[in-house]
Amino acid sequence: MNIAWFIVMTIVIIIGQIFVFDRWGLTKIHYRRSFSKEAVFTGESIEMVDEIANKKLLPVPWLRLESKIDANLQFQKRSNLDNEVHAGGDFHRTLFSLMPYQQVRRRQMLTCQKRGHYRFETVSLTTGDIFGFGQVFKSVPSKAEIIVYPRLVSIDDIPLPTHSWLGDVVVRRWIMEDPFLIAGVREYSAGDPLNTINWKATARAQAMQVSQKDFSADHHLMIYVNFNQTEDIWRPIVDEPLMEKAISYAASIAQYALDNGIDTGFGCNSYFNEMDKQPIRIDPANGGQHLLYLLETMAKLKIGSSTYFDFFLKDELEREIEGTDILIITAIVTKKMNEYIKQLEARGNSVEILELGPQDVDQNGVAPGRREPSRLST
């Protein structure tokens, strides 16, 4: 009789605690995810903090937290054996045990392996009874995000003599005559180009007069990245590492130029949103905040094209940009591109091309280059 009573009581207790944890196990469980930094560069580490609190009298013997984590955010090994973490691909799982009114904060280090904008929307919480006969789960919001900037490389490591061209830009910024800034007029001298003749002043003075150019510190740099790898607009990008290298070069050159006081902008025929594929353009500006804006923009770029680069250049022509140094980073140069480049140059812009190819990426990510007239090319 005592054994039968014991069996009955055991069954009642098991069923009772199953009911209790099924009904109240996940009530008043508060969860929050955060990161130690809002943005880092590719290859850097960041701390992910999971905070979970049990704000009720009922203890939670076990609580499993599951969430999707991009495989490019790699967990570092930890020696804390109480921290049961299982990360496979883009799936992350960790286990908690909570006493009444206890709050637990768990820290884990992630290494950001690839440029990108990583968003976290929800996590799944699962708990159950002590003996594991029943489980209950729910999804809770856990909005958080990480921006991983492109990897920055030294100008000397870019496989082209880009630093020499940028050095010329830095010098010209202070000593080059601005063709659009008129300081006055003077008498014509042998060797003066005909396009500098000021006909109105000539008529007034009854002698040949030319416009006197002033010096300007307002030269601008625009960096364009072409996301087309072939002349077939519908063909998808087949060499993603090459495009990542192009973005890395653009970010590195932008930082170098801004550090040297050159107003710098950025444009490309990529996009942010799959549902609204619009090309990107940021006007030249200066300052630390502008650099962060450029880096954030480059971090969020998708590896794909929103429009053909020929059309992108045509739009730039229609904007009537003038007096700008333009650097185009591209894997191909089409006839139409060359036509638009000539038109840009005819408007007083200086255009250089950093032409990429598979040979640009060796086992160390670096390859030598050579200088050609009026463009940068390998």
The structural domains of the chain, with segments of one domain joined by +, span 25-146, 155-176+217-377, 179-215
pLDDT of residue 167: 65
Residues of the chain predicted below pLDDT 70: 1, 6, 77-90, 159-185, 188, 190-192, 194-195, 212-219, 233, 358-378
pLDDT of residue 74: 87
pTM for this model (two decimals)? 0.74
Distances (CA, A) of 20 to 11, 17, 134: 14, 5, 11
Residue 327 has which token pair? 């650097």
pLDDT tens figures, 220-247: 899 999 999 888 767 778 889 999 999 9
**How far is Cα 294 from Cα 265, in angstroms, rounded to an integer?**
8
Report domain 155-176+217-377's class. Answer: alpha beta
- Angle made by CA atoms 296, 299, 305, in degrees to the nearest 5: 120
**How far is Cα 211 from Cα 205, in angstroms, rounded to an integer?**
13
pLDDT of residue 231: 80
**Phi, psi at 57, each rounded to 5°:** -75, -30
For the structural domain made of 25-146, what CATH number should be given? 2.60.40.1530
Could you check whether 25-146 and 155-176+217-377 share the same CATH topology? no
pLDDT tens figures, 243-273: 999 999 999 999 999 988 889 999 999 999 8
